Amino acid sequence: MNHLKTAQVIVYIGLGSNLATPVAQINSARAAIAAQAGVQERGFSSLYRSAPMGPQDQPDYINAVMALATDLPPMALLRCLQNIENNQGRVRTGEQWGARTLDLDILMYGDQKIDLPDLTVPHKGLAERAFVLYPLFEIAPQLVVPGKGPIAALVAACPLAGLKRLDC
C-alpha cells in the first residue's frame, strides 16, 4: 500500500491567557501542542505581559508565540487547538476580547492565505498587535507575512503599547 506523506508546513501559533495562573496555562498549552501527533515544536518566544484589548476590567494577558512544523491540514490543526483550549477550561461566552483561561490562534500557516468562516490566515489582527508581533519577531526575524510584508517593518510600525517581556 502506498501512503503519501503530506509535506510539513511551518506554522506560528499565538498563545494568550489572563485567567487561572496564566503562565502555567501557557506552559501547559505549549506542552499539549508539542504532544500532538504530526506536530514538532520549532521555536517558542519569551512570555510577554500586555493590557487587555477589550474590556479593561480584566487582568493583563500573558502572551507568547510558538513555531511548529506540522503535516496537519489547517482545519485539523484548528480543531486540535480548540480541544486544548477546552481541556484547559476555556469557556466560549461569545464575548469578543473577554477574559479567558487560554486563547490559541493560528497566526500563519506557511505562506498560505486562508479565508474560511472559522479560520482566517494570516490572522486578521497580526499586523497591528504588539503582543503578537514582538514575540513573533523574536523567534522569526526574517519572516515575511503574506499580504503584509516583512515582520521587521511591521514591528517598526507598531508601538509597544505597554507590552513587557517577562523574565521567566
Mean pLDDT, the chain, as a whole number?
A: 90
Average pLDDT over residues 94-122: 87
Residue with cell 500573558: 62
Average confidence (pLDDT) over 105-118 = 94
Structure confidence at residue 34 as a pLDDT band (50, 70, 90) = very high
Active-site positions read 90, 100, 103, 105
Band of residue 54 on the pLDDT scale cut at 50, 70, 90: confident
- Model confidence at 56, pLDDT cuts 50, 70, 90, reads confident
* Position 40 pLDDT exceeds 50: yes
What pLDDT, on the 0 to 100 scale, is given for residue 5? 56
- Which residue, among 3, 83, 2, 94, has the nearest Cα to 36 in the 3D structure? 83
In the chain the domains, ranked by start, together with CATH numbers, are 9-165 (3.30.70.560)
Cell 484547559, located at residue: 88
pTM of this structure: 0.91
Q: Can you name the residues that pair with 99 across neighbouring β-strands?
A: none
Q: How far apart are CA 104 and CA 13, in angstroms?
A: 7
Contact 64, 98 (CB under 8 A): no
